[in-house]
Structure 1
Amino acid sequence: MTKSLGNIRRTFAPWNDPASRPYIAFENVTKRFGDFTAVDDLTLHVYEREFFSLLGASGCGKTTLLRMLAGFEEPTAGDILLEGRSLKGVPPHRRPVNMMFQSYALFPHMTVEQNIAFGLRQEGMARGAVDQRVADMLKLVKLGEFGKRKPHQLSGGQRQRVALARAIAKRPKLLILDEPLGALDKKLREETQFELMDLQQELGLTFMIVTHDQEEAMTMSDRIAVMDSGRILQIGTPAEIYEAPSSRFVADFVGSVNMLEGTVETVSGEMTEISGKDGLAIRVTGESGAGAGDKVWLAIRPEKIRVSRNRPENGANAAEGEVWDVGYLGDMTLFNVRLDTGAIVKASVMNSRREVEDPIGHEDRIWVSFAPDAGILLTR
């Protein structure tokens, strides 16, 4: 049986092929604004037809990185290559790159058709060709009947699609998207994520997107780069970032996580026994590089924690406690359990049935447990 970290969105993975040549290469790129370093000696490779996300909190340098790629900023040091050619000195309008801004930046006095056609007319494309391209773009983003409307007559989702149509009308090789779904409500944002994925694969373009929304990056991306303070902390597929974070920062930033601190007691093969800081005895499997006496953290996601009223038959990684808080989200229920050791453990349980026998409630005494391979051991 083949094992994988999570389900695979598509088999596309040129980064695993040593013969693959990066489509975009940031080589030791640094960007300073006075005394402030926005991007710090960063190296990053992105491949053709990849949907790549830069994920990080506000001010981490992700938008600055994309503005340098688009030509709106110049690196203080290092170089940016597109198809192996340096972009130094190439102005924005000479780069085969288009950027879609968070605000959409639509012209309010122009119709939808005129907004989409603007860049094409600026390039001197023949009128008949412009009309045909605009019609193709409207059909692609499913706005064929809205061509004569102006932006204020559209919903937020429709304006987002007009901005997208305008960005791809010039058929750039690379499309850069800066928080493109930030202005949409949750339900529309979820729908639009899948529309963007389908559109990107249909057009065969390379997408680079900036977002601070972890769920958005996890849904759409082939790979994600987690950034902090101008540096990349980890690059990987959504499953790798979520299931195998390289540090406590990444584990905590992407999704919800329990972080159990302790000291390694013994290591025997792939089995590591840990004395938890809160008195919890922990046994985990997997390579960590930690040795006896080392301080470690076990990162374990709430959905990997089992809850039960009775003590599990296998007593390993089990502790009793009291339900401190209960959150019902419809598809799942969240529990905050205060263990007798004083630690708080978060657990989530899928609500697979409409009716629940003997439901667990606030202040109930329960057991929490997890399998030895349910979490990942971190040393930093």
Structure 2
Amino acid sequence: MNKAVGPIKRKFAPWDDPAGVPFIRFENVTKRFGDFVAVDNLTLDIYEREFFSLLGPSGCGKTTLMRMLAGFENPTEGRILLDGKDLAGIPPYKRPVNMMFQSYALFPHMTVEANIAFGLKQDGMESDQINTRVAEMLRLVKLEKFAKRKPHQLSGGQRQRVALARSVAKRPKVLLLDEPLGALDKKLREETQFELMDLQIELGMTFLIVTHDQEEAMTVSDRIAVMNHGVIAQIGTPAEIYELPATRYVADFIGDINLIEGKVSAVSGTQLSLTSEGIGGVIDAEAAEGGDATVGLDACFAIRPEKVRISREAPPAGSHNVLEGEVWDIGYLGDISVYRVKLANGTIVKATVANMTRIVERPITWEDKVYLTWPRDAGIILTK
């Protein structure tokens, strides 16, 4: 099966280069807090100039991993290397990393430019160099006109930019971002995500972000590590994670999806058939990469709602992957409509339709009898 890489924002994929050398390496790292294992024998490589996301629910170990890199926690086992150097024993203030916290932690009595200059002064930089660097940072985050203001005179988005400018002013090798956009409203958060991407590329720095926001990780990242209970469930580009989830957990965690349980009833190379009591029929699909499907094995079929076609017209006789049901619920979200279709045995399957035109009446409405169809390669069968 060809690997779907999807759109990328730049020609940058050092992880696919056999000669590529990781810039950050977590090597068999375990972190315990008493009897609780926060990170469990984890190995992870991150490359220079990469925008990398640690994504997962609360308690999955992502923040602990970042704090160990920053030096606020020490690994119980394993080691962490940055640019080939073992970080063991190096205190946080001597590590070439900087961390931007969700709270921003700006000094309320200082102006914007003073906040940005603070770390530079602590390092003993010459005043003329400080002025040049601060001016450069203000330009990067588009806050030149706000240099003399104090944090309480700024909007939430502007305070976030000040914190970001202060974090990168010292030009660390790695910038660590702990839920950096969590305090912003949805629209401003979306705008800031693109600004963050552009800034990272312009600076040429390595960014490591911790987030539980799937959309945020998908937007900004070169690659994403999806974490679960202290281990990495899958690493890949946003498109790989979304289109080719390796496990039920990843499929269910990223975006919206239909998961239909069943048993593998036929195997032909990467082509599988799944017999499901939930839909009362057989699904023909492809196996997930790295799967070990055999006839009789419990598995599930995963398909995104936007890949399911919904119609009141019956498909041609002999068509594969056809379900018949009744429209049970409709969610109108402006750009799309979400249809929840109830099958004869009560199973609910979701389909989404883009609202391409302004219409007063829906072509499909509540209690309509409809047919759901999809091509063989629209979803995958997961055995893990």
Q: TM-score range by the shorter chain?
A: over 0.9
Amino acid paired to 1:370: W
Distance 1:337 1:12, change over 3 A: same
Would you say the 8 A contact 1:46–1:52 is kept in 2? Answer: yes
Query: Could you tell me how far apart the structure 2 residues matched to 1:186 and 1:239 are?
Result: 22
Give the deviation of 1:358 after TM superposition: 5.1
Query: Could you tell me how far apart the structure 1 residues matched to 2:273 and 2:55 are?
Result: 34
| 2:298 alignment partner in structure 1 | 295
Give the deviation of 1:262 after TM superposition: 1.0
Query: Could you tell me how far apart the structure 2 residues matched to 1:3 and 1:105 are?
Result: 42
Does residue 280 (structure 1) correspond to residue 284 (structure 2)? The answer is no
| 2:224 alignment partner in structure 1 | 224
Would you say the 8 A contact 1:61–1:230 is kept in 2? Answer: yes
Aligned-residue identity in percent: 66
Amino acid paired to 1:285: E
Query: Could you tell me how far apart the structure 2 residues matched to 1:232 and 1:243 are?
Result: 18
Give the deviation of 1:223 after TM superposition: 0.3
3-state secondary structure, aligned to 1:315: coil
Would you say the 8 A contact 2:341–2:348 is kept in 1? Answer: yes
- Partner deviation per Cα, 1:266-309 (whole Å, 9 max, x = no partner): 22344322211221221113464312111110110101100000
Query: Could you tell me how far apart the structure 2 residues matched to 1:263 and 1:94 are?
Result: 55
Does residue 324 (structure 1) correspond to residue 328 (structure 2)? The answer is yes
Query: Could you tell me how far apart the structure 2 residues matched to 1:102 and 1:270 are?
Result: 44
| 1:14 alignment partner in structure 2 | 14
Give the deviation of 1:355 after TM superposition: 2.6
Runs of 5+ consecutive residues of structure 2 not aligned to the other structure: none
| 1:240 alignment partner in structure 2 | 240
| 1:341 alignment partner in structure 2 | 345
- Partner deviation per Cα, 1:106-147 (whole Å, 9 max, x = no partner): 011111111001000001111111111111111110000101
Amino acid paired to 1:336: R
Would you say the 8 A contact 1:296–1:377 is kept in 2? Answer: yes
Give the deviation of 1:6 after TM superposition: 2.6
3-state secondary structure, aligned to 1:297: strand
Query: Could you tell me how far apart the structure 2 residues matched to 1:77 and 1:67 are?
Result: 15
Distance 1:82 1:270, change over 3 A: closer
Would you say the 8 A contact 1:280–1:341 is kept in 2? Answer: no
Would you say the 8 A contact 2:4–2:244 is kept in 1? Answer: no
Give the deviation of 1:356 after TM superposition: 6.8
Would you say the 8 A contact 1:320–1:367 is kept in 2? Answer: yes
Would you say the 8 A contact 1:260–1:277 is kept in 2? Answer: no
- Partner deviation per Cα, 1:315-366 (whole Å, 9 max, x = no partner): 3111111111111111111011101132100111111122377521122111
Query: Could you tell me how far apart the structure 2 residues matched to 1:17 and 1:52 are?
Result: 17
Would you say the 8 A contact 1:286–1:373 is kept in 2? Answer: no
Please show how residues 66-77 of structure 1 align to structure 2 within 5 Å. 66-77=66-77
Query: Could you tell me how far apart the structure 2 residues matched to 1:106 and 1:180 are?
Result: 13
Please show how residues 67-146 of structure 1 align to structure 2 within 5 Å. 67-146=67-146
Query: Could you tell me how far apart the structure 2 residues matched to 1:3 and 1:290 are?
Result: 18
Please show how residues 35-74 of structure 1 align to structure 2 within 5 Å. 35-74=35-74
Query: Could you tell me how far apart the structure 2 residues matched to 1:240 and 1:270 are?
Result: 17
Query: Could you tell me how far apart the structure 1 residues matched to 2:37 and 2:295 are?
Result: 39
Amino acid paired to 1:96: P
Would you say the 8 A contact 1:264–1:294 is kept in 2? Answer: yes
Query: Could you tell me how far apart the structure 2 residues matched to 1:106 and 1:28 are?
Result: 36
- Partner deviation per Cα, 1:166-222 (whole Å, 9 max, x = no partner): 000001111000000000011100100000000000000000000000000001100
3-state secondary structure, aligned to 1:289: coil
TM-score (normalised: structure 1): 0.97
| 2:369 alignment partner in structure 1 | 365
Please show how residues 134-283 of structure 1 align to structure 2 within 5 Å. 134-278=134-278, 279-283=280-284
3-state secondary structure, aligned to 1:373: helix
Deviates more, 1:126-135 or 1:111-120: 126-135
3-state secondary structure, aligned to 2:191: helix
Query: Could you tell me how far apart the structure 2 residues matched to 1:285 and 1:89 are?
Result: 49
Please show how residues 303-322 of structure 1 align to structure 2 within 5 Å. 303-313=306-316, 315-322=319-326
Query: Could you tell me how far apart the structure 2 residues matched to 1:358 and 1:306 are?
Result: 16
Give the deviation of 1:244 after TM superposition: 0.7
Query: Could you tell me how far apart the structure 2 residues matched to 1:120 and 1:207 are?
Result: 20
- Root-mean-square deviation over aligned CA pairs: 1.4
Query: Could you tell me how far apart the structure 1 residues matched to 2:80 and 2:13 are?
Result: 22
Query: Could you tell me how far apart the structure 2 residues matched to 1:118 and 1:205 are?
Result: 21
Query: Could you tell me how far apart the structure 2 residues matched to 1:53 and 1:317 are?
Result: 35
Would you say the 8 A contact 2:287–2:293 is kept in 1? Answer: no
3-state secondary structure, aligned to 2:377: coil
